[in-house]
Amino acid sequence: MSRVTRQKHYMYEMMNDDYELPKENQQIVRIVCSKGNNLHEAEPAHDAENFLISMPNKFRNNIWIKRGDFVVIEPIQEGDKVKGEIVKILTATHIKEYSKSGIWPKKFTKKREHSEENYSDGSDDERFVVKNKNRPPIDEGSDSSSCDNA
């Protein structure tokens, strides 16, 4: 099987999943960072320390995961440093199905709170405009400009 065919096969397998729920020995974790050599640091759903997980051979060079992605892992007993192996990479539809079934960890739910400091003061039209934090605030009180030297 060629490399392109293998990549298509794994992408098709990942996208057309039957949304099977994790088994009792599997758990959902969030990827914190990549440590290289197909190892990733994972954050568990329960309050515990981050640990290393490995990517199996079938996913290597076929599917990429990045910081913030969610995966289902199975714990492994062999290693001291590496505590689990990736079984499934979760997509947005997986997350939606897991939330509907009630097994999605509450630690990983998104909370969208709009604070008032992110919006500009002013009329109703301007309250939905997000302030650009990369620019210094404009002082509208001073009418003198630095260009008027005449």
CATH of the domain at 9: 2.40.50.140
Range of the domain at 90: 3-108
In a domain, 141, yes or no: no
In a domain, 56, yes or no: yes
In a domain, 67, yes or no: yes
Greatest CA separation for the chain: 79
C-alpha closest to that of 59 among 127, 113, 11, 120: 11
In a domain, 118, yes or no: no
Which tens digit of pLDDT belongs to each residue from 90-131? 988 889 999 999 999 999 987 644 444 444 444 555 556 777
In a domain, 131, yes or no: no
- pLDDT value at residue 50: 94
**In the chain, how many domains are there?**
1
Mean pLDDT of 11-16: 70
How far is it, in rounded angstroms, from Cα 88 to Cα 131? 39
In a domain, 14, yes or no: yes
In a domain, 73, yes or no: yes
